[in-house]
Amino acid sequence: MSKNIITKLKKENLLGRGGAEFPAGLKWEMVKKVEAKKKYVICNGSEGEPGVFKDGFILENYPEKVVRGIEIAMKAIGGKSAYIYLRKDYYQRFVKKLKKIIQNKISPLNKGGLRGVSFFKKQNGYFAGEETSLLNAIEGKTLEPREKPPFPTEKGLFDCPTLINNIETFYYAAKIDENKYKKTRFYSISENDSKDKNVYELPIDWTIEKILKETKNFPRYNFFIQSGGGASGEILSSDDLNQKIGGSGAIVIYDFEKTDPFELMKKWADFFFTGNCNKCVPCREGIYRIREMIEEKKIDEKILKDLFFVLKETSFCPLGKTAVIPFESLIKKMF
């Protein structure tokens, strides 16, 4: 492992690939700097948003790289324990393979197997992938987000400094360590309601238009897309594609003529309704009211605007704040 891995992560400006895009090098450095007897690394494999499936692809194709990234992180922050937190179906599909890699791992860092790595199967809804909810899950506490600050980098798992990154971030940390990072990221591309789902590793600075054209996914029909994630992503028309993708790197393509906006919004509303943790009123009640209006197909613009405002400004965790994005952008483009 490079002695200066944190410097390299910063130089390459690797941003977390779980959606929040926090600079990875800075996060690793924050955990490293805290003096503590025990520190943890958590690899977040809870990928749970519709239209986002690239972490599953990475686990399927490059599990060694992910394990290597975790190993490098443990060494870099001075931690001896790590958790790999996986959503249920990923746990079933990949846990054996990952355990085998970890047991057989003989490297200059850990002779005779990589020690201290445990697995945890994600339970419940979408919010359980939020970084402080997963800390509570592993600790066996009530499954809900924690107040921040303190941030997990300072006070995370069992109150110890904890580095949490997602699968793709660890994959690229390993690539950067080997000086093989070519400024790429993984994109999940799918069409609404189609089983045809593809993942592509392409440059981070390509526009959506270029990605769709180069991968031969640019539709011949009148379309719009959802960019970033398939529930919390922003709706963009086919004229807005001269921009990069943020968030989790997903593109979901919708046929303009065949998509019923109410059906689509109902799908998101159901997702957020069942995927929230019920902890705070703005999100719990706000999503309930939005869902009710969509079901009745009666949009009161004034009330909806107020609900969006309250959700964005007062929700306790990012789920409530970002739930607004798809509804707001779809209504702007389609009504």
Residue 144 backbone phi and psi in degrees, to 5: -160, 160
Q: What's the CA gap between 81 and 273, in Å, rounded?
A: 35
Query: Which residue number, 128 or 212, has a Cβ lying nearer to ligand SF4?
Result: 128
Query: Which residue number, 253 or 280, has a Cβ lying nearer to ligand SF4?
Result: 280
Give min distance, CB of 149 to ligand SF4, in A.
16
Binding site for ligand SF4 (CB under 6 A): 127, 144-145, 276-280, 283-284, 315-317, 319-320
Residue 202 three-state SS: strand
For residue 150, is the peptide bond before it cis, meaning its omega torsion is within 30 degrees of 0?
yes
Give min distance, CB of 18 to ligand SF4, in A.
16
Give min distance, CB of 108 to ligand SF4, in A.
42
Give min distance, CB of 269 to ligand SF4, in A.
13
Give the CA angle between residues 260, 230, 94 to the nearest 5°: 135
Q: What's the CA gap between 290 and 270, in Å, rounded?
A: 10
- Token pair recorded at residue 74: 């443990």
Give min distance, CB of 276 to ligand SF4, in A.
4
Q: What's the CA gap between 23 and 15, in Å, rounded?
A: 4
Q: What's the CA gap between 178 and 61, in Å, rounded?
A: 18
Query: Which residue number, 231 or 253, has a Cβ lying nearer to ligand SF4?
Result: 231
Query: Which residue number, 92 or 278, has a Cβ lying nearer to ligand SF4?
Result: 278
Residue whose C-alpha is closest to residue 51's, from 194, 151, 212: 194
